[in-house]
Every structure is written in structure tokens, then in C-alpha cells.
Chain A
Amino acid sequence: MEGKLRITNHIRRLRFFAGEMTQQALAEKAGVSRQTIIAMEADKYSPSLELAFRIALAFGVSIGEVFECESKRDES
């Protein structure tokens, strides 16, 4: 089953529910730059597993609540 994986995330929504946590505050908690958070929210960057866990920990939720994976199967 080969196909492309599209990883999406709910970081923006989770920030809102965390008292409108700023991107900078999340970046500091996760140990990355604000630009990386911006890139992730815009689905322009898929983080490493370690960073994904650190973001989930920053929100106090499981990794599955932050990231979602859609698979696009090859029709051919």
C-alpha cells in the first residue's frame, strides 16, 4: 500500500483552547523557533517524532490529538 502521507495538525486550535497561547510561548515550551511553529501551523513542515511529542506535552494531550495523518492511495 504505497501512497503519499499528508500530516496535518491542530496546533492553532490547541493554542486557542490553551488560553490563546502565543506562538512564541509554545516555541519556548517546545524548544524551537517561532518560525518553526508558524511553518507547522501552515502545514509547511512536518516535525520529527521527538518534536511532535514535545508539542503534545506542551499542551498536555496525546500526540494523536495534535497530529493527524491522511493517506492518499495511488489509484493506478
Chain B
Amino acid sequence: MSYQEKKTITSIVSALILMGAYTIDALGRYRAGAAPLDNLGLWAWMMLKYIGIGIVVTIVLQILFHILLSVGIALREKIRDEKSDDKAIERTIKGEMVEDERDKLIELKSLRVGFGLAGAGFIAALFSLVLGYPPAAMLNILFFSFFAGSILEGFSQLFFYRRGF
């Protein structure tokens, strides 16, 4: 598995953790009556909080991933050749983590897929209002569709890396 694929899986995992945490939190509050559907300010604040947490979680997971990957590559190089020095190991790590034109193309293609889902979510959110659902439902549909879009973007990346194009 390539560096890009591992990085994508890390992003998917962080998005899934966040989506799960938000769902549990939101459902818990709603069932306890602490988050009424007509209090849009409260829902918006909760979502903003999770966006902030999401940024922090993503950064922390990416840092951890890069540390673990670097350690893994360094160990592999040492096992392969005991005489390999720090410079050689550093060069191998840089070589593994290179991002080229194919990665950028795959990123763009996947972004389009992710935005497609987020756009569909926006339309679904509008329909929810037309059908008479409370505005908080619309907000949640929007929020989930953006999360789902970013997860689908990750899976599309994995698909393009495996299938090629």
C-alpha cells in the first residue's frame, strides 16, 4: 500500500470518528431534550464546535501517521541494510512521501465526487424544508452530507489509486 493510500485511510478514519462522535452527541442531547429542533443557534454552535474538533483531530492524526510511517520506514531500512546511515534513511522517507501529478489528478477527481455528494445533500436539505421538516433537520442534513462527501472523497481516492485511470 502506497503512502498516499495510507494517508487517505487516515483521513477517512478521522472523518468517521468525528461523524460518529457528532451523531452520538447530537442524538444524546436531542433525546434528553437538551437540543430542541427549533433552537438553530444551539445546533449551529454544536456543529461549529465539531468542525473545530475535526480540524484538531485531523492534524493530530496526520502528525501521528507521519511519525509512525517515518519510524516504520527507518526500521525497514535498518533491517534491510544495517549500514544505512541517517541521510540514506531520510532520502528513502522523502522518496516514499513524494506527491506528483498523478496524486494531484486523483485528488481533483475525488474532490469532484465528494462535492457531488455534498451538492446532493444541499438539495436534499432544501427539500426537507419544502416537506415541512424543522430547520434543524436541514442543518443536520447539510452537515452530514459534507461529512459523507469527505468520506466518499477518500474512498474515491482509494478506488482511483487501485484501478488507475
Assess whether A39 is interfacial by the CB under 8 Å rule: yes
Whether B95 pairs with A45 at a CB distance below 8 angstroms is: no
One digit per residue, 1 when the CB lies within 8 angstroms of any chain A CB and 0 when it does not, for chain B 64-108 equals: 000000000000000000000000000000011011111100000
| Contact yes or no, A33 B98, CB < 8 A | yes
Residue in B4, B101, B103 whose Cβ sees the most chain A Cβ within 10 Å: B101
Q: With an 8 A cutoff between CB atoms, is B30 at the interface? A: no
Q: Which stretch, B20-28, B121-129, B157-165, touches the partner chain A? A: B157-165
Q: A32-B102, A45-B164 are in contact. Are A24 and B4 (CB under 8 A)?
A: no
Residue A35 CB within 8 A of the other chain = yes
Q: What is the size category of the interface that chain B forms with chain A?
A: 10 to 19
Of residues 111 through 165 on chain B, the ones whose CB sits less than 8 Å from some CB of chain A are 161, 163-165
Distance of A33 Cα from B101 Cα, bound (Å): 9
Interface residues, chain A, with chain B CB atoms under 8 Å away: 24, 27-28, 31-36, 39, 42, 44-45, 47-48, 51
CB-CB nearest 6 A-B residue pairs: A44-B164, A32-B100, A35-B2, A36-B102, A33-B98, A39-B164
In the assembled complex, 18 residue pairs joining A and B whose CB atoms fall closer than 8 Å, in A order, are A24-B95, A32-B101, A33-B4, A33-B95, A33-B96, A33-B100, A33-B103, A34-B2, A35-B102, A35-B161, A36-B102, A36-B103, A39-B164, A44-B163, A44-B165, A47-B101, A47-B102, A51-B101
